[in-house]
Amino acid sequence: MARRSRQPLRLAIGIASAGRPSILLETVNYLARLPDQPQRLIVCVPGIDDAAGLADRADVEVIVGSRGLTSQRNSIIRATAADTDVLIFLDDDFIPATTFLSRMDAVFSAKPDVVIATGEVLADGVLVGGLDMSKALEVLQTAGEGCERIADVYNAYGCNMAVRLAPVLQHAVTFDEQLPLYGWLEDVDFSRSIAHYGRCVRVEGARGVHLGVRSGRQPGQRLGYSQVANPAYLIRKGTMSKSRAIAQIGRNILANASGMLFNHRLVDRWGRLKGNLLALADLLAGSAAPSRILEFGNPPSRATAPPPTTPKRR
């Protein structure tokens, strides 16, 4: 008897965004021009104004969900559960190469034990104060396609995560909504949760650029608190090893302290360090919790450099 051919995977792209409609629109416009297209492109925003220019388009579905990266990504999972095999979460400022989707498709089709995958980030604007679209396209064009190769990793990187939905639904794996707003380390938590049921890999041939646009991100004090409180929470939960969490906390505090000494202006190092110290004090008092950042206001940042702008489309 002839073997039945494998059914093609149904792929969807999901983007959670808030407060950055122009960036989101530019990224969606780019995705719409790619030769490889998903079966569905879903955007989840906390308010319809956050998706300005997208609401009436036929090539994208806009849903409204509670504010917060983890909550919005859970809304996307629920929206795609019935008709999607692999859900690819992209940040609203992640620019994939033209072969990104086909490379991910090939890995999930050939390796049924892979449950979550992350691509190769050729440039990350988070590390350099942000990149614009023209720079991202230049990096992608210069780098070329590269070779398709996979390696097991501890966690996927949140700016681009492809997830096999069957084990997610079967085992009720969700993004932890106790990690509010920007959801610092939500990618580690989700990766380690789903890794109980298969492999977590990096697909080096699935390339992209993370613009790391600074607008819309957490104020320094909130992020600084999360840099300490969230790893501590994941230790208690069992989704981050104690050694990794302590190393992560140490690196963050050191980076913020040295940034203050050397007057780094692209990042609110004072606000982050203040948040670090507040979280450490809460840890000692036994009251640290990721949700504490919801009690903080939005103090003005001491970072004086303006955020990078993206070129307007003609």
* Distance (Å) of CA 15 to CA 80, 211, 224, 229, 265: 12, 15, 25, 26, 30
- Report the pLDDT value the prediction gives residue 109, as an integer from 0 to 100: 97
Given a cut of 60, whether residue 226 has pLDDT beyond it is yes
DSSP string of the chain? Answer: -PPPPPPPP-EEEEEE--S-HHHHHHHHHHHHTSSS--SEEEEEESSGGGGTTTTT-TT-EEEE--SSHHHHHHHHHHHHTTT-SEEEEE-TTEEE-TTHHHHHHHHHHH-TTEEEEEEEEEEEGGGTT---HHHHHHHHHHH------EEE-S---TTEEEEEHHHHHHTT----TTS-TT-TTHHHHHHHHHGGGSEEEEEEEEEEEE----TTPPPHHHHHHHHHHHHHHHHHHTSS-HHHHHHHHHHHHHHHHHHHHTT-SSS-HHHHHHHHHHHHHHHHHT---GGGGGG---PPPS--SPPPP-PPP-
- Report the pLDDT value the prediction gives residue 210, as an integer from 0 to 100: 96
Q: Kindly report the pTM of this predicted structure.
A: 0.89
Question: Is residue 119 within 8 Å of residue 140, measured between CB atoms?
Answer: no
Domains and CATH numbers, the chain: 11-210 (3.90.550.10), 220-295 (no CATH)
Q: Encode pLDDT of 243-262 as tens digits.
A: 999 999 999 999 999 988 77
When the pLDDT of each residue in the chain is averaged and rounded to a whole number, the result is 90
pLDDT classification of 301: cutoffs 50, 70, 90: very low
pLDDT (mean) for 63-74: 97
pLDDT (mean) for 56-79: 96
Q: Encode pLDDT of 131-155 as tens digits.
A: 999 999 999 999 977 777 899 999 9
Q: Encode pLDDT of 171-211 as tens digits.
A: 999 999 999 999 999 999 999 999 999 999 999 999 999 99
Given a cut of 70, whether residue 313 has pLDDT beyond it is no
